[in-house]
Amino acid sequence: MTVWGYPVLLDWALGMTLITLVTVAQLSTLPKLIAFVSGLIISVRSLGETISIAVYNAVFTTATLHMGDNVGKAAAEAGLPTASI
């Protein structure tokens, strides 16, 4: 699977999970509380997305902090002249 395949697969799984969660919550509650339950689930989902984006950004920034040095080192080990790096 190529690099872009994993995010597509994970996004598809997340979408299916969220649709199922909202549907089950709406079917499991009293008719007069459907709006409240739907709003609560959407609010909790938004809070989770906010936290997960912050964590992802921290992990991504940390992982790519030394990427230039690592690429240069790998290029030098592969035989690229140091003047070209």
pTM > 0.95: no
- Using the structure block, give the residue that is written with the tokens 């008719």: 31
CB 56, CB 48: distance < 8 Å: no
- Using the structure block, give the residue that is written with the tokens 């040095």: 69
How confident is the model at residue 2, as a pLDDT? 67
Q: What angle do CA 45, 51, 52 make, to 5 degrees?
A: 85
> What per-residue string of b and e applies to 11-32 under the rule 16 or more CB within 10 Å gives b?
eeeeeeeeeeeeeeeeeeeeee
pLDDT of 24-80, one tens digit each?
999 999 999 999 999 999 999 899 999 999 999 999 998 888 888 888 888 889 988
Q: Could you tell me the residue ranges of all domains in the chain?
A: 5-84
* The pair of three-digit structure tokens given for residue 22, joined into one six-digit string: 């909202």
How confident is the model at residue 68, as a pLDDT? 80
pLDDT of 16-33, one tens digit each?
988 898 899 999 999 999
